[in-house]
Amino acid sequence: MGMHGGMGSGAGRMARSFASRPTPEGGHPIRRSTVRRVAGAFRPYRGRVAGVLGILVVVAGLGVVNPYMLKLIIDVGLLQHNIHMLLVFVGIMILTPIISTGLGVWQTYLNAVVGQRVMQDLRIALYSHLQRLPLRFFTGTRTGEIQSRLANDVGGVDSVITNTATNTVANLTRAAATIVGMLVLSWQLTLLSLALMPIFILVTVRVGEIRRRVSRDTQVTLADLSALAEETLSVSGVLLTKVFGREDAAQHRYVRETNRLTALMIRQQMVGRWFFGFISTFFSIIPALVYLAAGLFFFHRPGLHGSAGISIGTLVAFTTLQSQVFFPIGQLLTVQVEIQGAFALFDRIFEYLDLPLEITDRPGALSLPRDQVRGAIAFEDVRFAYERDGGPAITGVSFTADPGQLVALVGPSGAGKTTLTYLLARLYDVDGGRITLDGHDLRDLTQVSLQGAMAVVTQETFLFHASIRENLLVGKPEATQAELEAAARAAAIHDRIMELPQGYDTVGGERGYRLSGGEKQRIALARAILKDPRVLVLDEATSALDTHSERAVQDALERLMGGRTTIAIAHRLSTILAADQILMLEGGRIVERGTHVQLLAAEGPYSRLYDQQFAGQPLLSAAS
């Protein structure tokens, strides 16, 4: 069976449990912890952030200058016929936007640098964390869902980091500076202008909560759509739909999910639009009310200055400031809705970043030098379950494998064979008992040193969409061309590689689908040979080979296994005949152990399995 086949129903239950983790509901208010974490993402760039904020404050202050210059031009320069001061005020009005524009360009640059660096940090942190998550996470989560978190969710907060955050601060400072200027000119007209603002703010908060919930539903649907596309458009997915004639069904499913996404996107765009339209209309009407109020002052108090201290210049300056304050306030109300939606994306990103790392190095973990690893393996009363509240996958398994020995694992599907190899490679930690390498508990060793001492060749061979050279170098990144060719010859694949158009630089295609199953498996064997491990795990490593190829690879395997501890899940009779010890598993337990001859003589479960699965197979290594 393959790397996945031995997990059995227990692994399936575990996967479903992991996949159904509770997630934050989109309707919850923004959490302070999320705000702190988002702010923390900007901490490494606090110098540039301070520069951006400083520029925004200066620009906001400059935004009040010209309306005041306009007041002075009217009241002093024009009405008092002061040509000198008129020129000064006009000069200031010309200089102010020039300075503002220059500062704005510099602020945009700083903002872009900070925003993109934060985005880069988020992407790297998320990818790095995903790399270190346990295998159980990936068996319970669709690849498309993971890709959606990396691409859609992180990409979705891009505009928030690079634009919305800065615009929010800019609008706040601009609105605050403008309101102060309005109060200085006329507190009465300012109160009239801002009287209904608290009602708009309350309504906006409610609209934002709805928008955030819709935004989260949209991202979940987008992730589902990405996962569906990844599954159905992968080589394996396309092959499956074609051979079973399910193209139409796949298309209908995709159309259904697309329709759902479209409806959510439309709803997301329309949430609160009537409300914001009303705000825009109200802001357009307010200046007319201010002119009406000022006119009443003039009617009752004729002359240049009324009792409220309103001059013509003051009125013009106030209405100019008023037109400036409504835009940033309107933007702030709209941005609040956008931020609500963006924090739903941050919650999804942090949800992944908060997933526990189950397999970690203990403090003071031992790093075994590669050249000092002997390869002595011992399972001591090992117990393991994929789910804490589920049935055990492995129960009380104990055995030893001395350096250079070959131990074969046999048994029916779901017996726990692949699970034992997972535990040996420390893809999972045991629930009870322990596994040792040269007398050291695997949990007391660094993962790097354990991985360096071990190589795994699986039945389901995976090749990256890269050249054959790059796929081989996974086993030994610093290998020379001579070492690559020696490993390939040992795996009986060198000649075939040289027949390819670009030799070792030929790209094997998605998951290596340009190569046959046997060719891919021999490349995987060459990769293991190149690594030169002390412990070798073979999970039906020759199952995809024809008889001719297996004869060649069998010789390579025998050379590879020489002096190494090998744990092999048996698929071919040749593996069993060569084994120093055979372990017969049923239901996660060892029910028989011994050599091939001993177990056949016992006429127990192994003998019956042999008659069912192995009788009649060619004795490839019987004479060896």
In a domain, 3, yes or no: no
Question: What residues are paired with 407 via a beta bridge?
Answer: 567, 581
Mean pLDDT of 61-82: 85
What is the Cα–Cα distance from 594 to 579, expressed in whole angstroms? 9
8 A C-beta contact, residue 5 and residue 458: no
pLDDT tens string 441-471 = 999 999 889 988 888 887 777 777 788 888 8
What is the Cα–Cα distance from 90 to 77, expressed in whole angstroms? 10
Which among 131, 137, 148 is positioned nearest to 18, based on CA atoms? 137
337 and 402 assigned to the same domain = no
297 against 140, higher pLDDT? 140
Sheet-wide strand order for 454-457 = 454-457, 535-539, 565-569, 406-410, 581-586, 589-594
pTM recorded for the entire structure: 0.66
Range with lowest mean pLDDT among 56-65, 318-327, 488-497? 318-327
User: Does 400 score more than 90 pLDDT?
Assistant: yes
Maximum average pLDDT range among 259-263, 372-376, 409-413, 434-438:
434-438
pLDDT tens string 202-246 = 766 667 667 767 777 887 787 778 777 777 776 566 656 665 666
503: left (phi over 0), alpha (psi -120 to 50) or beta: left
In a domain, 311, yes or no: yes
Domain end position, chosen among 353, 388, 410:
353
Structure tokens given for 172: 């706040």
User: Does 18 score more than 80 pLDDT?
Assistant: no
Q: Grade residue 538 by pLDDT with cuts at 50, 70 and 90.
A: confident
pLDDT of residue 622: 36
Range with lowest mean pLDDT among 50-64, 258-272, 544-558? 544-558
519 against 302, higher pLDDT? 519
pLDDT of residue 497: 87
345 and 230 assigned to the same domain = yes
What is the Cα–Cα distance from 214 to 269, expressed in whole angstroms? 10
427 and 302 assigned to the same domain = no
Sheet-wide strand order for 440-441 = 394-401, 377-384, 432-437, 440-441
The parent domain of residue 278 ranges over 39-353
What is the Cα–Cα distance from 67 to 52, expressed in whole angstroms? 24
pLDDT of residue 13: 37
What is the Cα–Cα distance from 540 to 3, expressed in whole angstroms? 9
401 and 348 assigned to the same domain = no
pLDDT of residue 337: 61
What is the Cα–Cα distance from 533 to 453, expressed in whole angstroms? 5
Q: Grade residue 12 by pLDDT with cuts at 50, 70 and 90.
A: very low
Q: Grade residue 19 by pLDDT with cuts at 50, 70 and 90.
A: very low
8 A C-beta contact, residue 567 and residue 419: no
Q: Grade residue 250 by pLDDT with cuts at 50, 70 and 90.
A: confident
Which among 327, 470, 406 is positioned nearest to 624, based on CA atoms? 406
Structure tokens given for 202: 């309350």
Q: Total domain count for the chain?
A: 2
257 and 344 assigned to the same domain = yes
599 and 555 assigned to the same domain = yes
448 against 615, higher pLDDT? 448
pLDDT of residue 342: 72
pLDDT of residue 253: 81
Q: What is the DSSP string of 127-196?
A: HHHHHHS-HHHHHSS-HHHHHHIIIIIHHHTHHIIIIIHHHHHHHHHHHHHHHHHHHHH-HHHHHHHHTT
324 and 440 assigned to the same domain = no
User: Does 249 score more than 50 pLDDT?
Assistant: yes
Please say whether the dihedral angle defined by the alpha carbons of residues 507, 512, 513 and 515, taken in this order, is positive or negative: positive
In a domain, 16, yes or no: no
323 and 388 assigned to the same domain = no
In a domain, 160, yes or no: yes
473 against 11, higher pLDDT? 473
Mean pLDDT of 491-508: 84
User: Does 273 score more than 90 pLDDT?
Assistant: no
pLDDT of residue 437: 94
In a domain, 462, yes or no: no
CATH of the domain at 588: 3.40.50.300
In a domain, 168, yes or no: yes
Residue 273 three-state SS: helix
Please say whether the dihedral angle defined by the alpha carbons of residues 129, 132, 134 and 138, taken in this order, is positive or negative: positive
71 and 172 assigned to the same domain = yes
pLDDT tens string 20-49 = 343 434 445 667 787 888 888 888 988 988
Mean pLDDT of 396-401: 94
Domain end position, chosen among 293, 321, 353:
353
Scored b (16 or more CB within 10 A) or e, 523-533 reads: bbbbbbbbbbb
Residues 6+ apart with CB under 8 A from 549: 492, 518, 522
Range with lowest mean pLDDT among 67-81, 157-171, 491-505? 157-171
Mean pLDDT of the chain: 78
H, E, C per residue of 576-600: HHHCCEEEEEECCEEEEEECHHHHH
pLDDT tens string 504-514 = 888 876 555 56
8 A C-beta contact, residue 179 and residue 63: no
What is the Cα–Cα distance from 83 to 597, expressed in whole angstroms? 116
pLDDT tens string 314-323 = 778 887 887 7
Question: What residues are paired with 565 via a beta bridge?
Answer: 535
Residue 366 three-state SS: strand
What is the Cα–Cα distance from 490 to 408, expressed in whole angstroms? 22
Runs of H (alpha helix) within 417-546: 417-424, 447-452, 468-472, 481-490, 494-499, 517-531
In a domain, 513, yes or no: no
Range with lowest mean pLDDT among 242-256, 284-298, 430-444, 565-579? 284-298
Q: Grade residue 334 by pLDDT with cuts at 50, 70 and 90.
A: low
pLDDT tens string 278-333 = 666 766 777 777 777 766 766 555 444 444 457 777 778 887 887 777 677 767 76
Which phi and psi angles does 568 have, rounded to 5°? -125, 130
pLDDT of residue 162: 66
345 and 384 assigned to the same domain = no
What is the Cα–Cα distance from 138 to 417, expressed in whole angstroms? 20
Scored b (16 or more CB within 10 A) or e, 226-255 reads: bbbbbbbebeebeeebeeeeeeeebeeeee
Q: Grade residue 434 by pLDDT with cuts at 50, 70 and 90.
A: very high
In a domain, 363, yes or no: no
User: Does 17 score more than 60 pLDDT?
Assistant: no
pLDDT of residue 165: 72
Please say whether the dihedral angle defined by the alpha carbons of residues 233, 237, 238 and 244, taken in this order, is positive or negative: negative
Find the Cα–Cα–Cα–Cα dihedral 514, 519, 524, 525, rounded to 10°. Answer: -170
**Locate tokens 């906001």: which residue?**
60
Q: How many CA atoms lie within 13 A of 353 on its CB side?
A: 18
Runs of H (alpha helix) within 32-82: 32-41, 46-72
User: Does 394 score more than 90 pLDDT?
Assistant: yes
User: Does 429 score more than 80 pLDDT?
Assistant: yes
User: Does 5 score more than 60 pLDDT?
Assistant: no
pLDDT of residue 112: 82
Q: What is the DSSP string of 603-617?
A: TSHHHHHIIIIITT-
344 and 403 assigned to the same domain = no
349 and 401 assigned to the same domain = no
Q: Grade residue 547 by pLDDT with cuts at 50, 70 and 90.
A: low
CATH of the domain at 182: 1.20.1560.10
Q: Grade residue 621 by pLDDT with cuts at 50, 70 and 90.
A: very low
**Percentage, residues of the chain above pLDDT 90:** 14
pLDDT of residue 455: 87
H, E, C per residue of 87-130: HHHHHHHHHHHHHHHHHHHHHHHHHHHHHHHHHHHHHHHHHHHH
